[in-house]
A and B are shown apart, each in its own frame.
Chain A
Amino acid sequence: MDGNKINVLFVCGMGMGTSTMAELGVKNNLNKLNIGANVQHTSLGQMESLRDWADIIVILKNLFSEITVKEGEFIIPVVNVMDGKGIAAEIEKIVDEHFPEAKG
């Protein structure tokens, strides 16, 4: 958390194209849901360095099997990165339960 905002990290293979598209779509939809969020994107190989920063990690499903989910970590595996609405809805569920202060 950063003030009243949750930190959401998007992870794809190279941390450029695909995670950027997911980030854009989700950010728009989180705004519509009134959820304050900071977003960043990175590659699987560079993910560890941002892992502590992130409250929620959104990762391509094909990369999901390679990470061990730590206690208290929220990870959303994604099939369609263009489904900003669906991903934002999953984030909303986590926010409602664990980070209610992020909803304004």
Chain B
Amino acid sequence: MNSVISFLVNDFLTVPTLLIGLLILLGYILQKAGVVKTITGTISAMVGMQLIIFGGSQFSNVFKPITTAVCDATGIQGYIMDSYAMKAASQEALGDAFGWMAYVFLIAFAVNLLLVFFGKFTKMKGVFLTGNAGTAHSQAMLWLIMANFALPSVWTIIISGILVGIYWAVSTTLAAGVVDEVTDGGGFTVGHNQQVGIWLFGRLAPKLAGKKKVDCEDMKLPGWLAIFNNNIASVAILMFVFCGLFCIPLGISGIEELSGGQHWLVYLIMVGIQFSMYMVILLQGVRMLCSELTASFQGIQQKIVPNAIPAIDVAALLPFSPNAATLGFLFCTLGTVFSMAILLLTGSSMMMLPGFTPLFFSGGPIGVVANKKGGLRAVIICCFLLGVIQTFGTCWAITQVHYASATGWSGMFDLSTVWPAVLQVLRWIGSLFGITA
């Protein structure tokens, strides 16, 4: 018997994919899903998990030689601001503990449901249903708590879960009002990575409207901007441009040393293409792991708190104002590039390279909200400001992960403002008890 337990604890459950597989299996059994569905669903979730691990590590491997070379040449450490860079970095940092994120996720969902169930007292209404962002939050919070506090693993997991659950309930409820306004009573709120930003800019935008409110939807935008709606092309182009710029200090000879003799331009083009390829692998993995998860969580929500507001992926806002979404992306990018210039000019030891997700999925939706509440002028100011806040906020968050070789951090609004702020406060509290790492 002892050898069976020892096999389970020491061999089986230390493999993240097997731990996740076991939890998914339990989920199917509890739902009485039938033998075929239980077996196929469990295995495909495990394959998805393995794709995520593979895609994430390869994503990091494309970037590591570049950032190492630039760091050796200039002393500047580069980080990618993107949800997928954070996924890649946190699963690398967590190692065998990566599978624990499933416990964090489950605790967080339970805390979220509980807060909404007692909504009479807590005023909470939103239930977080976005599996793809939820897993990212779970592993990122686990990483932060482990890196900052010396706690037994059970407490690390419980505290991470509670923090994520509170964040889900509070942030989705905050955003509910303005999302309802933007969508003309669409019946949902946003559960992603920038809900607090949506609430904040929703309040700020009316003050920035100016004398004449111009609606972005009355404008005609140049057609080529539509390229950036395509995730595959967008990632390749952005990573080619920003990695190319980042490599300038190496000079052509330095880049060709890095590429092992390949022409510098060919190398940089392939860097862009490879980032996009590994994102496709990650996406496929997340899709295999999370689609069923979203379905069953929605089922649980409808059973336990039927009157709650479902909090869903932020892209749901974009169709309500396509032009504002594109302009939001554009000005968020400008704000980010401006901040990168400031980092360079002030001799910062860090440089942030923006990925697709924070530009498109923060810039776009905040653009939609700003347009509704304040028109074009508000879109320009809010989204530029958003880019600035996200860039410097990510610098802040990076100092908290205590992992110099991390590929990057999310770069989304909430994870570069609310999260590091809460962690800072927790560190102060922790230091009173002598448990900060």
A interface residues (Cβ-Cβ under 8 A, vs B): 12-18, 20-21, 24, 41, 43-46, 60-63, 65-66, 77-83
Cβ contact within 8 Å between B232 and A45 = yes
* Residues A16 and B132 in contact, CB atoms below 8 Å apart: yes
* Residue contact A24 to B298, C-beta cutoff 8 Å: yes
Query: Do the beta carbons of B290 and A62 come within 8 Å of each other?
Result: no
Interface pairs A-B: 7 shortest CB-CB: A17-B313, A45-B232, A62-B322, A61-B319, A18-B315, A18-B313, A45-B231
Q: Is B230 an interface residue (CB 8 A)?
A: yes
Complex: A66 Cα to B187 Cα, angstroms: 27
B313 contacts across to A, CB distance below 8 A: 12, 16-18, 20-21
Does more than half of chain A's interface fall in helix, strand or loop, or is it mixed?
Answer: mixed
Contact flag A43-B188 (CB < 8 Å), given A61-B322, A62-B325, A65-B322 = no
Q: Are the CB atoms of A43 and B231 closer together than 8 Å? A: yes
Which chain A residue shows the least CB distance to B357? A14
What are 19 sample pairs from A and B whose C-beta atoms fall under 8 A apart? A13-B229, A13-B361, A14-B132, A14-B231, A16-B132, A17-B130, A17-B192, A17-B294, A17-B312, A17-B313, A21-B129, A21-B313, A21-B316, A41-B291, A43-B231, A45-B233, A62-B325, A65-B226, A80-B319
Cβ–Cβ contact B319 & A24, under 8 A: no
Which one, A18, A44, A60, A81, contacts B230 given CB within 8 A?
A: A44
Residues 280 to 321 of chain B near chain A (Cβ within 8 Å): 280, 283, 286-287, 290-291, 294-295, 298, 310, 312-316, 318-321
Task: Tell me the complex Cα distance, A15–B234, Å.
Answer: 14
Interface string of B224-250 (1 = CB under 8 A from A): 001001111110000000000000000
Residues of A within 8 A of B321 (CB): 62
Report Cα–Cα, A79/B131, bound state, in Å.
22
Which residues does chain A contribute within 8 Å of B28, judged by CB atoms? none
Once the chains bind, are A24 and B294 in contact (CB under 8 Å)?
yes
B183 part of interface (Cβ distance < 8 Å): yes
Q: Given contacts A21-B310, A65-B226, list 18 more A-B pairs with CB under 8 A.
A: A13-B231, A16-B286, A17-B313, A18-B312, A18-B313, A21-B313, A24-B295, A43-B231, A43-B232, A44-B229, A45-B231, A45-B233, A45-B234, A62-B318, A78-B319, A79-B320, A80-B186, A80-B319
Interface pair B295/A45, CB less than 8 Å apart: no
Find out whether the CB atom of B230 lies under 8 angstroms from the CB atom of A17: no
Expressed in whole angstroms, the Cα–Cα distance for A78 and B315 within the complex equals 12
Q: Which residues of A lie under 8 Å from residue B286 when comparing CB positions?
A: 16
Given known A21-B129, A45-B233, contact A62–B312 (CB-CB < 8 A): no
CB of B283 within 8 A of CB of A16, answer yes
| A74 vs chain B, min Cβ distance (A) | 18
* Minimal Cβ-Cβ distance residue in A for B290: A16
Q: How far is the CB of A4 from chain B (nearest CB, A)?
A: 20
Determine the chain B residues whose CB is within 8 A of the CB of A16 once the complex forms. Answer: 131-132, 283, 286-287, 290, 313
Residues of A within 8 A of B130 (CB): 17
Q: Which of B158-210 contact A (CB under 8 A)?
A: 183, 186-188, 192
Question: A44 — which chain B residues lie within 8 A by C-beta?
Answer: 229-231
Across the interface, which residues of B come within 8 angstroms of A13, CB to CB?
229, 231, 315, 318, 360-361
